[in-house]
Amino acid sequence: MPIILKAANKVPIYCATFLMLINIASAQEKSPMEVMISSGEKIVSEDRGVFIFDTTTRRKIELPSHLKRALSTSSEIVFPEAVSRRLDGKDVFLIVVRVPSSTSPNGYCGAGSEDELYAVELNGIVGKIVFSKKVNSCLDNIDLSNDGINSSFESIKWVNNPVGISISWSKDQEGKESVRLYRRIKGGFKE
């Protein structure tokens, strides 16, 4: 049996429906804001740096200079996975650094970005890059897979057997849809 609404009552229902649609559209799953490491401490990104937090202290992770430069110009820093992996006795975490594609907002890819994935191995507070890969690029026309609901960074995952990193693209470096596995080999990751 259809429900007939009076004209005066339609406005609140239309507003409620509109607000509900906005909430559904903005419910896209966000990437983790921190990474748990084996000691129980957390890795977080603050002030364009990466830190280890425990219950009482904050320690800055010492990173290679080119990663520090990327972090200093970044527009976003994302952790695709919420938990590090313990590999060869050390914690390894994944981080994506997004930098603008161009310094000219009116030029080609002026509003675009370049996303680089890093696997960083921790030795105390010293971070060593053991893998890096461009995963999104306006300039090179590379796009991670995205289902429209979850963050596109969810297409970057740790895998167990064999141990490695899986990356799913809707458009890879060759312009094709692909899923690639980068296996843990001799302290690094290789396709």
Within-domain flag for 26:
no
What range defines the domain where residue 60 resides? 31-184
Within-domain flag for 24:
no
Within-domain flag for 76:
yes
Rounded alpha-carbon distances, angstroms, from residue 41 to 17, 44, 117, 120, 136: 43, 10, 22, 16, 29
Average pLDDT, integer, range 41-56: 88
Q: State the amino acid at position 159 in one-letter form.
A: V
Within-domain flag for 20:
no
Within-domain flag for 91:
yes
Q: 95-136: per-residue pLDDT in tens?
A: 999 999 988 777 788 888 999 999 999 999 999 999 999 999
SS3 at position 14:
helix
Does the structure show a pLDDT above 60 at 2? Answer: no
SS3 at position 166:
strand
pTM for the full predicted model: 0.81
| Cα distance between residue 179 and residue 172, in whole Å | 9
Average pLDDT, integer, range 169-173: 89
Average pLDDT, integer, range 18-27: 38
DSSP summary character for residue 114: E
Rounded alpha-carbon distances, angstroms, from residue 185 to 115, 116, 169: 24, 20, 22
- According to DSSP, the residues that pair with 77 across neighbouring strands are 97
| Cα distance between residue 173 and residue 10, in whole Å | 51
Q: State the amino acid at position 96 in one-letter form.
A: V
Q: 76-95: per-residue pLDDT in tens?
A: 999 999 999 999 999 999 99
Does the structure show a pLDDT above 60 at 160? Answer: yes
Within-domain flag for 64:
yes
pLDDT, residue 30, reads 62
- The count of other CB atoms within 10 Å of the CB of residue 119 is 24
Over pLDDT 90: what percentage of the chain?
57
Could you tell me which residues come within 8 angstroms of residue 93 by beta carbon, excluding any fewer than 6 positions away? 35, 37, 43, 79, 81, 84, 85, 119, 120, 122
Within-domain flag for 18:
no
Number of domain units in the chain: 1
Q: 175-189: per-residue pLDDT in tens?
A: 899 999 999 998 999
Average pLDDT, integer, range 141-153: 85
Within-domain flag for 42:
yes
DSSP summary character for residue 3: P
* Average pLDDT of every residue of the chain: 83
